[in-house]
Amino acid sequence: MAQYTWDSSKKFCDTETHKTQATCADCPATECAGCKGQIAAGEVHAICRENGEAAHLGCKGRAAAGWVDYF
């Protein structure tokens, strides 16, 4: 299985924006790549550097396990 690098959404998202708006331009994620559940507006999540997918912090492993590597 390939190794994936994850960044916290806090690196990209302005938490002040999330206090007043449901989403911000830097945070388009709405579905978790692991559990397929919703990522709540402003909820801290992880963003995969390699493919841009988003996942709940606890779902990163499940998301990566479901990805097929084509390289």
Cα-flanking dihedrals φ and ψ of residue 61, to 5°? Answer: -65, -40
Cα-flanking dihedrals φ and ψ of residue 16, to 5°? Answer: -65, -40
pLDDT over 70 percentage in the chain: 68
Q: Residue 32 in contact with residue 56, Cβ under 8 Å?
A: yes
pLDDT at 5: 92
Mean pLDDT (the chain) is 79
